[in-house]
Amino acid sequence: MKRLFILLLISISAVNAGTISIAVAANVSYAIEDLKKEFNKTHPNTKVRVTLGSSGKLTAQIKHGAPYQLFMSANMKYPEALYTEKIAISKPIVYALGSLALLSNNKRDFSDGIYLLKSKEISKIAIANPKTAPYGIAAMQALANAKIINDVKSKFVYGESISQTVSYAVIAADIGIIAKSSLYSKQMFKYKENINWVAVDAKLYTPIKQGIVMLEEGEEVKAFYDFILSADAKKIFKNYGYLLP
């Protein structure tokens, strides 16, 4: 009888256990592990498999049949397109607001803010590709509104995602325009505000509405979707430098 009970428990666990595959914008890579850990506190048998990339490239993969069940984009444009084309099964909802920062591996005087980019000391500026990365679009908007885009565009070194742009900012360029959220990962703690980085004036661009959509039905998919929109997830996003919707 005891053995039968144990077998029953195992079979129930097998039914409840599963793996969900989610496509996640690169800027969320710094927060996603904490989000998964928090989710698994209430759903310990659900494995969350994450694929990171630029929102544009992930959207292209989804349109070509990539087996993702949920998409966390770096903006609303791509989720809205997927919903319009009836690929996404839920309306896009904002889960966090992204913001920009300037980052340099070297100590800088950031008193001029974004206008520092015009300096002769700055010969290479890492920036996310605006064709594939929403943070690149926001960076271009900030530069245009600051009326310095024509002065600095010859200095651009493009990253295909915001995570690649962060790498370029500290390795291949003098400075970079990055997602502020990337500065809150453990690997980035050595970079100090007003010494290595400074937030970009939010008046120069529209904070980035990051949208989430479900691509498939499923109890576990819905559970993770609901979690990302929950108060517990919002605390984590806030801890990683996001603004809350």
In this structure, the answer to whether residues 71 and 160 fall within a common structural domain is: no
Distance between CA 57 and CA 237 in Å, rounded? 23
Are residues 215 and 88 in contact, defined by beta-carbon separation less than 8 angstroms?
A: yes
Number of H helices, E strands in the chain: 9, 10
Q: Look up tokens 């929403």; give the residue.
A: 134
> Per the domain annotation, does 196 fall within a domain?
yes
CATH of the domain at 52: 3.40.190.10
One digit per residue, the tens of pLDDT, for the chain of length 245 reads 444 433 333 333 334 459 999 999 988 988 999 999 999 999 999 999 999 998 999 999 999 999 999 999 999 999 999 999 999 999 999 999 999 999 999 999 999 999 999 999 999 999 999 988 888 999 999 999 999 999 999 999 999 888 899 999 999 999 999 999 989 888 899 999 999 999 999 999 998 999 999 999 999 999 999 999 999 999 999 999 898 88
For the chain, the residue count is: 245
Taking alpha carbons only, the member of 171, 155, 157 closest to residue 127 is: 157
In this structure, the answer to whether residues 189 and 217 fall within a common structural domain is: no
> Per the domain annotation, does 244 fall within a domain?
no
In this structure, the answer to whether residues 105 and 199 fall within a common structural domain is: yes
Is the pTM value of this prediction over 0.85? no
